[in-house]
Each structure stands twice: as C-alpha cells, then as structure tokens.
Structure 1
Amino acid sequence: MELIEHARRIVNSHGEGLVHSMGAAVRDQEGRIHGGINLFHFTGGPCAELVTLGNARAHGARELSAIVAVGDEGRGPVGPCGRCRQILFDYHPRIRVLLLTESGIKSVRIIDLMPLAGRWDAVEGTQPFNADAVE
C-alpha cells in the first residue's frame, strides 16, 4: 500500500489535468522507494513505469522488488502496457507488479504477465526464458 500511496501522491501533485496522467513507484532491494510520472506526448512519450525505472537507476538501484502505476482522477492501480511489461521482464525478471483485480489489489510476478515470452539481454540478445531460474 505504501507504493500505491507514493505513486498516488506523485500523480495527484504533478499530473497534467487535461490528459490522463500516471504516477509510478518502485521499491528497490534496500527498501527505498523511487517514483516518476509519465510525460504525455502525441507520439506516446515515456510511461510512468519507465520514467520510474530510470529514476531508480539514476539513484543507484539495480535490483527492484515491486512496482505499481496509479492513474490520476482516482483511477487507482493500472497494469503496465505491453512495452513496459517487456522492459520490466527483460531488466527485472524477479519484480512483482501490483495490479487491481476483481478481488482487490494483487502482487503478481512479471513472469506471470509474460507467458511464452523471450527475454532480451544486452549481451546475449533475445533468449528463450527459463522460468525455473527466477523462481
């Protein structure tokens, strides 16, 4: 809930108002929380999750444990788009994503949001994914 509240404060304080804004928060392995907000642009712009990943990395966070994106205007947690899912999966295959489901907020492994996906690696290129290595 702390991550959700952090992201909610970001989007409520810094959202655009005229367009749908998203705030995001991520927790690193040391327990620190990093946040970000999307930059709306007609070409797509960076999603809040990607801004947040960059912010976390800029502050030295290499291992991330959980992430959430929250919409403005009380929309609550929103699942990551396909591009964000792939990037989270590629860089942080152990990360958990907080999602709003029919039965409330759930913490889901990113690998469960990416069935049959290939994982990209900067050195090795695209590789088949071994879920057993992440468990």
Structure 2
Amino acid sequence: MTMQDTDRALVQAATAVAKLRCRSQSHTVASAARTADGRVFSGVNVQHDSGDTCAELVVIGAAATQGVTELETIVTVTDRGREVVEPCDRCGQVLGAYFPSLRVIVGKVDDLRVVPIGGLLG
C-alpha cells in the first residue's frame, strides 16, 4: 500500500516521541498508532530486569484507557527515530488479534510502505 500524508505524520509522531523519551536503556523504542477518526496514541517500551514490555503494547493500553477499540495504523521506531522496525512476533500476534484490519508502516526510513498486519504474521 502507498504511504499517505497521514502515514508520514504518524512516523513523525513516533519519531518525536523517540527523540524526546528514548534517552536511556529503559526506553529505546517508540510507537504511535492512529484511529480512523485521526486520534494518535504513542508509547515507549519499558525494559527492566524483571521483563520487557514493547512500545506497541503500551500504545494499545494508552488507547484502551481512552475508550478506543479500533486502531487503523501503527508504526514503531528505534534509534531515536532513525529506523522504522516491524513489530516483534509477540506484538504482531497481539496486534493481529485485537485489530485484524490494522495497517503497519514498515521499511527503511527513505523507503516506507504500509502493509496489513496479516502480511507480517506467520
């Protein structure tokens, strides 16, 4: 799928969070997701000796606290926003189960594209 202006804006939102909040080993990845009505939710991963929580799962929780039951598009960035990464297998499974029509932004920063979550699974 082709990138739209709203998709580029979502990458910029995740990048802004990464640059601002991913400054330690505790937070190294940021994610941002958009709803169909244009609301954007973001989050960062949480790394700790007791276990890690991915940024995508933090975003799901942030959206859920605001009553959101459907996300349209998600992107995850690392290296303070210099690299776009695919969700890990666990997050891909959770995202696919919660939002089967979710679109995921993937690729290199200078060559991004949008794929359905189902295209990343299995």
Give CA deviations for 1:93-135 in whole Å, capped at 9, x if unaligned: 00010001598101000011114xxxxxxxxxxxxxxxxxxxx
The equivalent residue for 2:64 is 57
Unaligned runs of 5+ in 1: 116-135
TM-score by length of 2: 0.85
| TM-score, length-scaled by structure 1 | 0.77
Determine whether 1:113 maps to 2:120: yes
Deviations 1:23-51 (A, max 9, x none): 10000121111110111123441100000
Residues 13-24 of structure 1: matches in 2 within 5 Å? 13-18=20-25, 21-24=28-31
% identical aligned pairs: 36
Q: Which runs of 5+ in 2 are unaligned?
A: 1-7
Superimposed CA distance per residue, residues 37-88 of structure 1 (whole angstroms, 9 cap, x where no aligned partner): 1111234411000001110111121111000011134432111000000000
Separation in structure 2 between the aligned mates of residue 111 and residue 27 of structure 1, nearest angstrom: 18
User: Aligned partners of 1:80 and 1:44: how far apart in 2?
Assistant: 17
Which secondary structure does the structure 1 equivalent of 2:19 belong to?
helix
Instruction: Report SS of the residue matched to 1:50.
Output: helix
Q: Displacement of 1:16 after TM fit?
A: 3.3
Q: CA RMSD in A?
A: 1.9
Amino acid corresponding to residue 46 of structure 2 in structure 1: L
Corresponding residue for 1:80? 87
Structure with bigger RCO (C-alpha 8 Å, 6+ apart): 2
Structure with the greater alpha carbon radius of gyration? 1
Maintained 8 Å contact 1:96/1:110: yes
Which structure features the higher share of helix residues? 2
